[in-house]
Amino acid sequence: MALFLTEEQVMLKDMAGPFLADQAPVKHLRQLRDANDAAGFSRDLWRRFGEMGLAGVLVPEAQGGGGLGHVEAGIVLEEIGRNLSPSPFLSTAVAAVTAIGGADAELRARWLPGIATGETVAAIAVDEGRRHDPANVALAAERSGNGFRLNGAKRFVVHGHVADLLIVAARTSSDVGEMRGITLFAVEKGAAGLTADPVRMVDSSIAAEMLFEDVEVDAGAVIGTVDDGWSLLTRTLDAGRVGAAAEMLGVGGAAMAMTMDYLRQRKQFGRLIGEFQALQHRAAHLYSELEIARAATLKAAQLMDADDPKAELMAAVAKAKAGKAAMLAVQEGVQMHGGIGMTDEYDIGLYMKRHRLLDELFGDTAFHAERVARLNNY
């Protein structure tokens, strides 16, 4: 498959871009933030995602979705990143749909249609420590009657305080740190013993710290096989990683675009600052880095869609590279804007904040560089 967008994919981009620029531009984020909105995103907007067929991009057609792939999801996410649109798309339409895709028919029928229509919001509850480390699952699921009883805590559960569905990685056997013995559960909102403490993050989004105290779920809530959730968890996270990489390309791309505009307009010392060669060379270097990150992300998405075993390595590469390239974009963006780049009034700082969260989400550059080393046996 050629490593550029097909005509259909370009059409999707041409639809999603204007939709988000119109419905959820940066102003929309500012409004939610300044109103201290408790959800952190608009449910109405999410339903609109459903109407446009975006929420169900990865949902099979049989469940009312588009039956498309991670390349298409990445196209939407890049536009989300470009507009800093607050939405549960990444956790719900990408990560949760991938997880539920590994579940039995009943769970799939239970959750996928609602996601496709934009009614349902899902969240991923994996992290327990400060830094992403998915084998480090201590939250215990013990057999109890027909089902399981969950005890423990999760943090950095993006949208967890309002999610209808939680994808929970729990330990059913083996020790903390081991890949074996992890089981995925689909836990519904309002389960007894489940509490969420919403925390405002640096980018104004909300992630919850979640406490599980004797939360009872029945056996039907198990996604996939008991004790054997690692590979589906990895696939779920990789979907999230490639998605986050795509969103960071949007973040970095927009940061670069507004910075280039500034270089073409702002004068200092009687010249347009874009005429200064030192800035030109840095801008050209940034362009190269973003282009390379874009290629890596598209490649990873294509490999995911092809179920290629190399997808895991490339997902790590994409997340690490997009994280670094977009970081350069927001850093150079603020620096080249000078003082006004430091003000809340200008958007560039919002891009820097959003990048920070996405960089950490599902593992940062250091995490994935380490993964690249391990996957290559060194």
Partner 1 sequence: MADEEIFRAETRAWLEANCPPAMREPVTGLDDVYWGGRNGRFSSPEQQAWFEAMAARGWTVPDWPKDYGGGGLSPSETKILREEMAALGCRSPLHSFGIWMLGPALLKFGTEEQKRRYLPDIAQGRIRWCQGYSEPGAGSDLAGLQTRAEDKGDHWLVNGQKIWTSYADKADWIFCLVRTDPAQKQGGISFLLFDMASPGVSTRPILLISGSSPFCETFFDDVKVPKEQIVGAVNQGWTVAKYLLGHEREMISAMGFGSGDPSLGRDLAERLGAFANPVLRAEVALHDVDMLAFRAMSEKFLDEFKAGLAHPAQPSMMKYAGTELNKRRLELEMAAGGTDALVWGDDNAVSRHWLRSKANSIEGGTSEIQLGIIAKHILNLPGA
Of residues 183-242, which lie at the interface with partner 1 (CB under 8 A)?
199-202, 204, 207
Q: Which amino acid is at 63?
A: Q
Alpha-carbon dihedral sign for residues 112, 118, 121, 122? positive
Cβ nearer to a second copy, comparing 200 with 285: 285
Structure tokens at 85: 């649109």
Tell me the three state secondary structure of residue 241. helix
Q: Is 153 in the site for partner 1 (CB under 8 A)?
A: no
Cβ nearer to partner 1, comparing 107 with 290: 290
Burial of 320 (0-12, 13-18, 19+ CB in 10 A): buried
Measured CA angle at 57 (ends 53, 62), to 5 deg: 90
DSSP assignment letter at 96: I
**Smallest distance from partner 1 to CB 8, Å:** 15
Cβ nearer to a second copy, comparing 280 with 343: 280
Q: Is 369 in the site for partner 1 (CB under 8 A)?
A: yes
DSSP assignment letter at 95: I
Alpha-carbon dihedral sign for residues 31, 204, 323, 137? negative
Tell me the three state secondary structure of residue 12. helix
**Residues 254-283, interacting with a second copy (CB under 8 A):** 276-278, 280-281
**Residues 339-368, interacting with partner 1 (CB under 8 A):** 339, 341-345, 349-350, 352-353, 356-357, 360, 364-368
Q: Is 2 in the site for a second copy (CB under 8 A)?
A: no
Q: Is 31 in the site for partner 1 (CB under 8 A)?
A: no
Alpha-carbon dihedral sign for residues 293, 295, 301, 307? negative
**Smallest distance from a second copy to CB 280, Å:** 7
Selected binder of partner 1 within 21, 138, 179, 260 (CB under 8 A)? 260
**What does 331 bind: partner 1, a second copy, none (CB cut-off 5 to 8 Å by kind)?**
partner 1
Residues lying near a second copy in the complex (CB under 8 A): 276-278, 280-281
